[in-house]
Chains A and B, each alone.
Chain A
Amino acid sequence: AQSVTQLGSHVSVSEGALVLLRCNYSSSVPPYLFWYVQYPNQGLQLLLKYTTGATLVKGINGFEAEFKKSETSFHLTKPSAHMSDAAEYFCAVSEFSWGRRALTFGSGTRLQVQP
């Protein structure tokens, strides 16, 4: 069974500071990993994903994440936070199983950006 743990339900940073949102996964097979962002009263929007190949993945809005198999982690980073980054962020995993494609989500991290 697969699972996702996001450390820190709330993270607060100053505008211009580094953003680091943590995600650890558990999977019995090579995982496919995703980060989604959710703005208030909106659906989820894909930020980036790791499937195969390069372990450092770049996404939209300046975000990137690195897949580290040895640490079972897929942390999300952004060098300089912007006020518009304030939102809730979800890490998700999908196993390599053709019969099941549902995403398993973490509990989410709400990012606050202080001026």
Chain B
Amino acid sequence: GAGVSQSPSNKVTEKGKDVELRCDPISGHTALYWYRQSLGQGLEFLIYFQGNSAPDKSGLPSDRFSAERTGGSVSTLTIQRTQQEDSAVYLCASSFGGVGPGETQYFGPGTRLLVL
């Protein structure tokens, strides 16, 4: 079966522009996560969606970052007015949901974002 997919795989943008990153979770997974992987900060949690519940946005680094999940499936991470420090690999993961914090998260290949 298909795994988690992300698009685009690479994105180059200019400082100040907005970008949208897309994540398609594994079919049937109700939980979806976004993480950021950067040289200086390692792997950081950004946001977590579980079904129709309010998302856990506690990891978003600033109000320039937002995410939505439509229809309980596809998610879009939006970064407004990009800055050079936003350059990183953005990873999406999904899990079955409802089992608890020990359940496995399945990761996509990531979107590599470069802000010039």
User: Interface stretch among B12-20, B40-48, B68-76, B79-87?
Assistant: B40-48
- Evaluate contact between A108 and B42: CB separation under 8 angstroms: yes
Instruction: Please give, as numbers and ranges, the residues of chain A lying within 8 Å of B104 by CB-CB distance.
Output: 34, 46, 49
Instruction: Please give, as numbers and ranges, the residues of chain B lying within 8 Å of A108 by CB-CB distance.
Output: 42-43
B65 at the interface (CB under 8 A from A): no
Q: Is the interface of A mostly helix, strand, loop or mixed?
A: loop
Instruction: Please give, as numbers and ranges, the residues of chain B lying within 8 Å of A100 by CB-CB distance.
Output: 48, 56, 58, 101
For window 80-111 of chain B, which residues contact chain A by CB distance below 8 Å?
Answer: 91, 93, 95, 100-110
| Residue of A95, A98, A100 with most partner-chain B CB within 10 A | A100
How many residues of chain A are within 8 Å of chain B by beta carbon?
A: 29
Q: How far is the CB of A109 from chain B (nearest CB, A)?
A: 12
Residue among A34, A46, A92, A96 making CB contact with B100, cutoff 8 Å: A96
Instruction: Please give, as numbers and ranges, the residues of chain B lying within 8 Å of A104 by CB-CB distance.
Output: 45
**Closest residue on chain B to residue A107 by CB atoms:** B42
**Assembly CA distance A44 to B108 (angstroms):** 7
13 A-B residue pairs with Cβ-Cβ distance under 8 Å, sorted by A, are A36-B107, A44-B91, A44-B107, A52-B102, A96-B100, A98-B100, A99-B56, A100-B48, A101-B33, A101-B50, A104-B45, A105-B42, A108-B42
